[in-house]
A and B are shown apart, each in its own frame.
Chain A
Amino acid sequence: MKKILFACTSLSLVFLAGCATKPPAPVVESAIVGQAPADPPKNPVMSAEALKADSKSIAVTDIYFKKEGKNLTFIEETRTTTDNSISSVITPKTIEIDADKANASAITGGANSSAFPVKFTNLADPKATSPGAAIPPVPAVNVATPSNSSSSANTQSMKKSGYQSNNEYGELRYLANPIRGLLIKSGYKVVQAKSTPAMPNQGDEYFDIVKRIKAGDFGDADYVLYGVLAEISSTDNVADIPGTKSTSQQVTLEVTVDFNIVDTKTTQIIASFVASGEGKDVQIDGRDTGHKPSTAKLMKLASLDLAEDVRKNLADQNFITNNPGSAGQVRNLKRRLDDDASTLKVYK
């Protein structure tokens, strides 16, 4: 009986030992359907220094703008022909006006044509000014024959009027710095980009970012973020404050900028958005006291607000996260930088 008990115990022990050394059943990895598994962070514990060392550079340029203007030009030529010679006196007169006003004037038969009753022609257009053109210059001929002279003289006066387009291209240098700061905080290295001076007779090729990328204007950047000023406007309004005897004067400066992010390798537009910024100065009873708002302060506020809107748009399109400095942001940024090996340059 003892032997049987001993044998049973031994068998049980052997069986238990066998179970203990048995390798665990292989675990089938769960397949993720319809969702790309996120890469685990390669360096989960990442200091700001490490992030800085890994991050790519971002070059930030200033915001491009194009200012359209039209010069109204009046040319009065007085040509005097005598027997022996022809003398000519040309008196040009140029008035610079806003393009909008010019477009609304008689050039297009616009609603404000009464303000600009002259039918203007484009003096730069050879067809418009050539002989026999649809809108010829208006000649006024005065023939004067001095009675007390034996020689005859003809005085011919010609008047031309028209417009010349005047486009100004350039970069606004003070709006981009808060965006640079935002990108620095997000972990990118920001490099000052080369400025782009406008050439004489510059055209819209000034905004041709692909041409500039190919010309090497952005160095080895993988992305170019550039912005073109769409509109800048200021308003000065006064409103009553309900429940009080006071009024509030609100002077607002608003800028709207079109942004694009272009992959420099493929020239593909990666992201595109419109951002706007507003600087506001509110003064209670300001109109009564003759308050003059500070333009510098308004510009600063507008640029900060613009940067905030840029941040939101960049976050929406996964270039930065909504919470700079968070663990998620660090991980996303690290992954993006590792996967895309990207350098983002911001050109505006």
Chain B
Amino acid sequence: MIARHLERTAANIRRRPWRHVATALCLAVAFLSFGAFAALWWTIEGGVARWGGQYEVTVYLSEDARPDALRSMLEAQPEVSRAEFVDGRGARARLAATLPDDSGIEGIPADAFPASFELRLTPDARKRGSVDALAGRLQGAPGVQAVETYGPWLSRLSRLARTSRVAAGAVGLLALAVAFVVVGFAARLARAERSGETELLRIVGATAAHIEVPLALEGALQGLVGAVAASVLLAGGLSLLSGAGGMSVSAPPLWTAIPFALLGALVGAAAARKAARASS
């Protein structure tokens, strides 16, 4: 019986190929929107991880500080996973790397830049409260001139990331809902076009599955094709953005195309089945 369902599905597609192509294209657009916002989410996550993981706490040294002794003290703190020493020259070189070549920064003496320790924190300690507690303890330690936690900046970044995630998630869900509606309408249209056939099938003793399964299979196929087309378009678009635009875009890994395609098939099948039942 499954073979017969597949035969009927194939026959239905052969009879109206362009309607199926048009539906798959509409779905591709909806899935492309979903994929684009998924990529945006991914990029935000990557950015937050990258920026949040850098220079979580910077400890500026006083002139009389002894870096070796201070490193031991810093690495003994439970919140600290690593302490990296940056002398004045290194600090100047880092700043120079972010400025234009003609900035003249190389002319500034290296000792004008204070030496520092850049602390990487353990994952558990990357909370505002933990960072503030650590900064409070270090603030009065011998050889420490100042402690920079970037707290307000990281808080703003976190808030921005959270808002962006919610927006990306909402638009992604909206795109999925659009895909669901598109397949639903396509299935209803197909059902209306085939009302005569459906009526005839009922009269000759077709079961509900015999009528609904081919529609669901058509929806699944449309969803699958739409999702695969969206994946290809998305990969191409992200590659163009990363290459030509020089933007830092974190594309989802290649394997995510498989669950994405399956999600497309699932959305297609579910919408078509729902539409078939609603119109029966």
The finding on whether chains A and B are genuine partners in a shared complex, rather than unrelated, reads no
